[in-house]
Amino acid sequence: MKQKMIILCAALLFMVGIWGCTPPQPTSKRWYTPQQVKSGQPLYARYCAGCHGEQGQGGKDWDRPKKDGSYSPQPLNGSGHSWHHTLSSLENTIAQGGTHPGATMPGFAHVTTQAQRYTIIAAFQDMWGDVIYTKWLYRAGL
Ligand code: HEC
């Protein structure tokens, strides 16, 4: 009887574990429209590509601080950790630039409207595959 209970409990825990760890099904449904991507692409090319790369690939050794403690621009194509940030914090970074000590990214609030900054996000998020986009939705979201 006791043994049966233990097996039952173990089975239950196992099932809960599997259920809890199953990642959500990747979705292709995005928050932005194709029109926003189209508007954002030339802005991305103009203001961001010089540092973050034409394809959002980021700078060399972006995940390690340089000798002076500053960082290379992170990739924005989904391979970095920009999917850890909420939509509004991404928008804020673009408006204000880097805020932590030693940050070197300039802000773009003086040359872009908030709506334009959202189209820039649409442009680089459109480089993300569905798996990373869904991870973002669940971790940081809108
Ligand atoms: C002069 C180079 C430069 C330009 C231009 C630039 N960035 Fe950055 N960006 C950086 C650096 C360097 C960082 C890392 C934080 C820091 O040091 O400020 C960064 C960080 C970021 C982050 C945070 C990424 C993460 O994974 O945490 C985002 C998002 C971002 N930039 C978006 C943009 C966008 C969008 C543009 C264009 C509007 C842009 N950046 C233009 C250099 C730049």
So what's the architecture of 26-139 in CATH?
A: Orthogonal Bundle (1.10)
The CB of 105 under 6 Å from ligand 1? The reply is yes
The CB of 74 under 6 Å from ligand 1? The reply is yes
CA distance 120 to 77: 12
Task: Quote the ligand 1 centre to 2 CA distance (angstroms).
Answer: 59
The CB of 98 under 6 Å from ligand 1? The reply is yes
pLDDT digits (tens, 9 = 90+) for 14-58: 655 555 556 668 888 999 999 999 999 999 999 999 999 999 999
pTM: 0.86
102-117 mean pLDDT: 96
CA distance 90 to 80: 13
- The residue whose two tokens read 């990373």 is 132
pLDDT at 82 over 60: yes
pLDDT digits (tens, 9 = 90+) for 93-102: 999 999 888 8
Domain boundaries, the chain: 26-139
Going by alpha carbons, the residue nearest to atom 19 of ligand 1 is 73
Select the more confidently predicted residue: 11 or 90.
Answer: 90
